[in-house]
Structure 1
Amino acid sequence: MASVGLLFVGAVLFVNGAMLLGWVDGRSAAPINFFVGALQIITPTYLIFTANGDADTILAASGLYLFAFTYLYVGLNLTFDLDSTGLGFFCLFVAICAVIFSGINFVHFQDNGLGVIWLYWAFLWTLFYILLGQKRAGIERYTGAVCAIQGWVTAFIPAFLLLTGVYKQVVNPLAIALAIFGVVVFLALIPWARRSRTPAAPAPTVDQPAVV
Structure 2
Amino acid sequence: MSDVGLFYVGAVLIINGLGLLGKITPKGTAPLNFFVGTLQVVTPTFLIMTSAGDRAIIAGAAGIYLFGFTYLWSGINAVTGWPGEGLGWFSLFVAFTAVGYAAYLWQTGERVFVVIWLTWALLWLLFFLVLGLGRTGLTRFTGWVAITEGVLTAALPAALAITGLWRDSAEAALAAAVLAVVALVVLWLVAARTPVRPAREEAARAVAG
TM-score by length of 2: 0.90
Q: Distance in 1 between matches of 2:123 and 2:50?
A: 31
Q: Over alpha carbons, which structure has the higher Rg?
A: 1
Residue 57 of structure 2 corresponds to 57
Q: Distance in 2 between matches of 1:121 and 1:93?
A: 12
User: Structure 1 vs Structure 2: percent identity of aligned residues?
Assistant: 44
Residue 77 of structure 1 corresponds to 77
Q: Distance in 2 between matches of 1:106 and 1:198?
A: 37
- Aligned-partner SS, 1:59: helix
Could you list the runs of 5+ residues in structure 1 that have no partner in the other structure? 201-212
Residue 186 of structure 2 corresponds to 188
More moved, 137-146 vs 171-180: 171-180
Aligned counterparts, 1:57-206, within 5 A? 57-107=57-107, 109-167=108-166, 169-197=167-195
Aligned-pair distance for 1:51?
Answer: 1.5
Describe the superposition over 1:57-107 as per-residue Cα deviations: whole angstroms up to 9, x where unpaired.
111111000000000010011111111111100000000000000100111
More moved, 118-127 vs 46-55: 46-55
Contact 1:20 1:143 in 2 (8 A): yes
Aligned-pair distance for 1:171?
Answer: 4.1
Could you list the runs of 5+ residues in structure 2 that have no partner in the other structure? 199-209
Change (3 A) 1:137 1:198: closer
Residue 210 of structure 1 corresponds to none
Higher relative contact order (CA 8 A, sep 6+): 2
Aligned-pair distance for 1:199?
Answer: 8.6
- Aligned-partner SS, 1:189: helix
Describe the superposition over 1:158-194 as per-residue Cα deviations: whole angstroms up to 9, x where unpaired.
1112212232x34444322221111011012222212
Q: Distance in 2 between matches of 1:39 and 1:133?
A: 25
